[in-house]
Structure formats: C-alpha cells, structure tokens
Structure 1
Amino acid sequence: MNENYRLSDIFLSVEEEERETWKIDNDNTADWALDKIKESREEYERFEKVAMAKIEQVKAALDQEKKKMENETGFFESKLREYIETVKTKDTKTQKTYSLPSGKLVIKKDKEDFKLDKEKVLENLKKLEGYEDYIKTKEDLAWGDLKKNLAIADGQIINKTTGEVLDIEGLGVEVKSGKFEIKF
C-alpha cells in the first residue's frame, strides 16, 4: 500500500512537470488548445443546464413540502387554539399559557399602545395648560416623560395625575392584536 502511494506521488509530480514544460509553439497546437477550451466550456454549459434543471426540481419539491407542512401545522395550530380555550390556563397581564410535556401553548393578549404623531401632539400640547414640562425647549415632544404620565383606559388616554381625559389631535390609541404561539 505504501508503494502505491509513492507511485501516485511520483505520477502526480510528473504530470505537474509536464504541464509546466508544455508549450504551444505552432498554429496546429494553438488551434487544438482552442478546441479543448471550447469543448470544456460546452461541457460546463451542458452540466450547468442539467444542474439548474435539477435545482429547479428540488426547489419545486421543497415548495410542495413547505405547503404540505403549512397546511398540516395550520390545521393542528387551529385545533390547539380551540383546545386552549377549553382548559384552565395560567393568566398574566399579557398572556395566557398552558404547559404540556412537548411544549407550551401561548395566547398573547391584545395590547393597547399609544399611536403617536409627535408633531401634532407637540402642536396641540402647546395649547394646553400644565403640559409645558413635556415640551422640550428645542420644540421637541418629551414623549418619554409624557407617556409615563399617561394611561389608557377603555380606549381613552388619561392623565394619571389629574384624571383628565386627553383628546389631542395626533395622539390616539392603537390596539395591537394578540397572537397565538407555540413554543418549544
């Protein structure tokens, strides 16, 4: 086995030496080299066409499997969604969870959040008394500070300090839909 290895090493080094010393020295050899280049490129193009067709075939099979998976998981997710509504879940302020050995069913609750148009809120806060502290001197809305003083209740924005319901153009309530998740 060692002898075979040594023979192959010798053969490879001879082939490399031949490549380094081989030269094109006449028109016939140059024309032959052009034919070899053309054959090599044609073979590559043929191989590329076959490979691209195979890639398209594999992509189509992958797309088909993805659709199958989406249909199957969609079916089971909808059944799990129905099921979680029938069992006692662990409820927090933001979500309901139900644990099983293979995973956890989670329903994230709808969440109300501020919908903000800074320029309109700034313009309208200037007209109200008691909100000067929430307007930065460079005429920028101190949204972080203002938001800390606001709450959302029944779709209305309320000043936590005064209890006043704020109806300011550019500031509203946006309901972000909750979603169903399965976590592993």
Structure 2
Amino acid sequence: MNELQSSLNQYLEEQEQTERETFVVDTDEKANWALRKIKQAQQKQEESNALAIAEIEKIEAWNASEKEKAQRDIDYFQGLLAYYAVKKREEDPKFKSQKLPNGRIRFQKKQPKITYDNEAVIDYLEENNREDLIKVKKEPAKAEIKKAFTIFENNMIDPETGVAVYGIEVEYPEDEFKVEVDKE
C-alpha cells in the first residue's frame, strides 16, 4: 500500500510539473499540492521519529541493564566495607573514618529527622501566641480578578471606580496562521 501511495504521489507531481524554487501558490490546485507535500513531509517525520524511538528504547534498555549490573557490584562492595568498618568500630569505639589510597570509609553523624503535622503545629502556635512562627502566603486570585474587572485596551479596569488596576497589563497577540492537513 505504501508503494502505491508513493507511486501516486510521484505521478501527481509529474502531472502538476512543479518546481520548488519558482513555485507560487496562486490557485486552489497548487494550494492542495502544497498541503499534500506537507502531509508527505509529516509522514516522513513520523516514520523517522518511530525508528529513532525504537533505537532509543533499545539503547536505554541496554544502559539500564549495565547500570543494574554495576549497582549490584557497588552494593556488594559497600556491604563488605560496612562490615569491615563496624568491626573496626567494635575494636575502637572512637573510630570514625579511615583514609585509604582509593578513597575513604567513615561513619557520618546524621541530623534528626523532624516530621510536622502542619495543622496541629499551627493550632499550637496560634493558641500560644506564636504567630511569628507562621508563614502567610499572599498571591492574587487571578480567576476572580478576571471576573471582577473589565478589560479595556491594555488594562484591567475596576468597573466600580473606572480606574486601571495597577500591576496588570493586557496583551493582544496576533492571530496565528495554521495549516491543517487531513489525516488518512
């Protein structure tokens, strides 16, 4: 089917005798020809993208496999080193680290993990007059602003006062030209 479509497209191009350098769209037939050329180019993009994705997936699968193998080695040797470091600490309770030619093994003190129940903490702080430890985030309610104010030229206007709202600017982008190619 793909060969038939290709053959038809080639025949239609020969019949229309088009040249890219001097071609000007000035009739419906030429506009339709240009749309067909866009459609062919889009199909070529899709085919090359599909091929690239297939190859990328293979490479990513290989990479994941190699990373997994290397991570198993890392985990194994880290386990051996951890066992060695624990033994050294049992022999010398003050043991914290040791520098070796290829790196260092060490015990690192960790900070305590603190978990907050935000609502309970806020309740406590409010009950104990510690509002200084509560953050309040202010931001404009944009959806409500659009409903409450009116657009006039490049500003939002407060309809009750007729005054432009400071800090809001209205932009009017140009109409965008689009080409829509029918899918088969």
Structure of greater relative contact order (alpha carbons < 8 Å, 6+ residues apart): 1
TM norm. shorter chain > 0.5:
no
TM bin, normalised by shorter chain, reads 0.3 to 0.5
